Structure 1
């Protein structure tokens, strides 16, 4: 008579342990998806930053053209260069970056040969601000 409810208690304990285990797996899956999303966005920003550097490099036909990229901030239309190809690239960069939350880029070129070029890509992921900086030297061709 004393063992009638014993199996029921064992089942309840086993169900509790199983529930905790399932919740842990669901939590890990959710975290993994968030990390994957952040990594994907970071990789996209790396590709965009590299593309900006390559566009500057391919259009750097002379000192003046290269220097026309300096001071660009794609989130500020007052920094749009007056001359091509930098003004066309400004529009292209702005269009591409507008597809991502809070994304924008800034470009700085220092007027010393070889020209140090800095491209910084900014974006927002949730409540976090991120930035990637690309630095190189370019000599006009």
Structure 2
């Protein structure tokens, strides 16, 4: 039996979501080191790390939640999964906000821009997941026709 590309992606999403979530929580609650550099470069690097981490979370969580679409056109997949995209974005923002609220208890500081970076990263991950999943569904349909 041949496993579809879509099923493989969904399985990776299911396995990757808790792993990525755990890594985000662990790294976010580590006490800040004494060697924190200041300036614009440090700010961009910090926000970039937030965006990258939440892009991974958005990608894996979106892939874990998708369902197969019979005739997967781009618009049909979007219409079928739009509430899932909103859910993944909401979960990402809630997780990022909760971490920011708790961070002062671990020697870190609350930064609203971190939540903004988390949201931007989540949108990027969801968009990438949408592209990957749609291509996988379309590929599986073409394979079945052969």
Q: Which has the higher strand share?
A: 1
User: Which structure has the greater CA radius of gyration?
Assistant: 1
TM over 0.5: no
Relative contact order: is structure 1 or structure 2 higher (C-alpha 8 Å, sep ≥ 6)? 2
Q: Bin the TM-score by the shorter chain.
A: 0.3 to 0.5
Calculate the TM-score normalised by the size of structure 1: 0.32
Q: Which has the higher helix share?
A: 2
